[in-house]
A = this chain, B = another copy of it.
Amino acid sequence: MQVKEIGLIVGAGEGLSAAVARIMAREGMAVALAARSLDNLAALAKETDAKTYACDASDTRQVASLFESVDRDVGTPTWVLFNPSRRSRGPLVDLDPETVKQDILVTCFGGFLVGQQAAKRMVKAGGGSIFFTGASASVKGYARSAPFAMGKFGLRGLAQSMAREFQPQNLHIAHFVIDGSIAPRGGNGKDDRLNPDSIAETYLAIHRQHRSAWTWEIELRPWTETF
């Protein structure tokens, strides 16, 4: 008997996360979607036959509860994608510290909470994939955007540490540097922004890699992007 794969996306919404959900469904996986608010998830959930969960990814208790619910409703995830981020921009001296703190907690600490819950289960199950979505800001700290740099650099540190700890336990940990802005679904005709469906194909290819040749980090950008 072929066990059905179970995909869980934390930070589900439009764009990239929706594209990954569709690919999970296309590949025959059971899909679970978590987001801070369920308001806009109904259509995607229907399209991918997914269970949905409201969850603030920066809240320890809510993340634990999310995974318990998924265990019960769907089963232990075999592929978890952490996608949320939050950022403030503007002159650093004008930023509100409490807002900046929340930015870091959502973008980086949330990744820890989700990674920890996923790893607990996958170590027991003997395998699985935990993927983290990064950005240009994961490797380059832009002016007037320190909160995003702090969150995304920190998330990359988490992903690298988890790769070193968990890959020898058969968990595939990968970090994606999305270096450019994402186009609406279907692209924009000129291909000069990242088409979410195209990104999602690469996520799937990395998930499908044989463990003798795993990727920890990969970057993606449009052909026209200066970098």
Which A residues fall within an 8 A CB radius of B? 60, 91-93, 95, 97-98, 100-101, 104-105, 108-109, 112-113, 115-116, 119-120, 123, 137, 140-147, 149-168, 170, 172, 183, 187, 191-195, 198-199, 201-202, 205, 208-227
Q: In the complex, are the beta carbons of A195 and B212 less than 8 A apart?
A: yes
Q: Who on chain B is nearest to A117 by CB? A: B93
Distance between Cα atoms of A36 and B91 in the complex (Å): 28
Please name all residues of chain B whose beta carbon is closer than 8 Å to the beta carbon of A166 when the two chains form the complex. 92
Instruction: Give the docked Cα–Cα distance between A53 and B192 (Å).
Output: 38
**What's the Cα separation between A209 and B176 when bound, in Å?**
15
Q: Do B167 and A224 touch (CB < 8 A)?
A: yes
Cβ–Cβ contact B157 & A153, under 8 A? yes
Query: How distant is A156 from chain B, measured CB to nearest CB, in Å?
Result: 6
Q: How far is the CA of A153 from the CA of B153 in the complex (A)?
A: 5
In the complex, which residues of chain B have a beta carbon less than 8 angstroms from the beta carbon of A165?
91-92, 143-144, 146
A157:B160 contact, CB within 8 angstroms? no
Q: Identify A170's interface contact among B95, B143, B223, CB under 8 A.
A: B223
Q: Which residues of B contact A158 (CB under 8 A)?
A: 141, 146, 149-150
Out of B116, B157, B215, name the residue touching A93 (CB < 8 Å): B116
* A82 shortest CB reach to chain B, Å: 13
A69 to chain B minimum Cβ distance, whole angstroms, is 18
